[in-house]
Amino acid sequence: MSHTSAAQRYIVRPAASIRGELTVPGDKSISHRALMLGGIAAGRTLISGFLASEDCLATLAALAALGVRIERPQETLVRVHGVGHEGLTGAAGALDMGNAGTAIRLLMGLLAGQRFDSTLIGDASLMRRPMERVAAPLRAMGARIDTQAGKPPVRIHGGAALHGLDYALPMASAQVKSALLLAALYAQGVTNITEPAPTRDHTERMLRAFGVQLTAAAGRVSLAGGQQLRGCDIEIPGDFSSAAFFIVAGCLAAHDGLTIRGVGVNPTRTGLLQLLALMGADIELRARTEVTAEPIADIHVRAAPLRGIRVPEDLVALAIDEFPVFFIAAAAADGQTVVTGAAELRVKESDRLAAMAIGLTTLGIECELLPDGLRLQGGRMSGGRIDSHGDHRIAMAFAVASLIASAPIEIEDVANVATSFPGFAHLARAAGLALED
């Protein structure tokens, strides 16, 4: 099967080592934001390093349906002809966001202040995900938004007059923060958002690249409404969340070293590096530089013995998407690892805490599911059959587990890997994983 088509399952046999150099695709979070801000900017935005994944292509299709002309001369090069602050037009039908949780929540913010009605839907998984955490503060800004029992379809009624808001996020969430910042562009007055812990700040960095003035300091972001965005050139770094699978693989089996080139190392995203350092990992950032206000580096990893840790709760939000593969590192570590304060993982593409607990137990790792986390004991891992619950990060995490397993691991329901990491199987094989798809 070619690496561009969607496999239904992986069979991954134990492999002794991984090595070499590789480059992961562009950052998903930044690709979504570049399309949306480019769409409402005045003038042309050129996006290079775009992630051509199903999630990002859903955002591209939604903006096209809202009247934005977008060209893609190459797979990872996108030219967005922005329509300006007031230029979006109503779509002919519902906007289908597929599996993209980031896209549906950010679009709620972008569409809340438009003159026209919009409806947002998605695949079976997305239609089960909570939307009120975004809808409620948007209503406090004056938006008229309906959800169905708190979930999609999300119906946004046009013509609402939005006003600035002082809002303290009840939990750290970059998606909620970003949705409010997008709505704030269309609001009268100033919007102030306070977060209880740091979350990824890609939206703030990119708004500045498009010429928006905002202040961000000490857990508080302020933005005045009515500002015009100017088209610009955006270069997207390699996705840290995709690199994470190879970073952990390197910790387990890169005896001669593994280098991942040009990865975004925004400090609001790299909590995993701090967690692995606490476990004793041998990781070095080289060739540090910056592209479009985002720091990047080459990440060099060598295999090292890991020890179990209690994860500091202030690092949870900075590693939220990386926990599935972090749990594989914990399974390989000496001793016990405990994660708490991570209830957010229960409402991702799957209940990631439960899915990982079941999968690790299947492979012989002693594991206890907590209400907001997991306690597990590092140990010897056997093979077995894993249900990924259609969750791309669960599927890829268990592919990495093959490096410490004593027998093959069969991973079911892996088609959704294409939502975030097209070509994962191909790249994994190139690095040394014995993966069949």
411 in Cβ contact with 399 (< 8 Å): yes
The two tokens of residue 373 are 């986390």
The two tokens of residue 398 are 């268990």
User: Residue 248: helix, strand or coil by DSSP?
Assistant: helix
Q: Measure the CA–CA gap between 281 and 216, rounded to whole angstroms.
A: 32
Counting every residue written for the chain, the total comes to 437
Residue 8 has what DSSP assignment?
Answer: S
Residue 41 CA from chain centroid, whole number: 24
Which amino acid appears at position 254 of this protein?
A
E strand or H helix that includes residue 246: helix 240-253
E strand spans, 51-210: 69-74, 77-83, 95-96, 118-121, 144-148, 151-157, 166-168, 190-194
- Angle (nearest 5°) at CA 418 between 412 and 421: 110
Q: Is 146 assigned a catalytic role?
A: no
Residue 369's DSSP bridge partners are 374
Which amino acid appears at position 365 of this protein?
I
User: Which residue in the list 321, 387, 391, 437 is annotated as catalytic?
Assistant: 321
User: Cα-Cα-Cα-Cα dihedral of 309, 314, 319, 323, to 10°?
Assistant: 50
Task: From 434, 396, 435, select the one nearest 415 (Cα to Cα).
Answer: 396
User: Residue 69: helix, strand or coil by DSSP?
Assistant: strand
E strand or H helix that includes residue 216: strand 214-217
Catalytic residue positions, numbered: 321
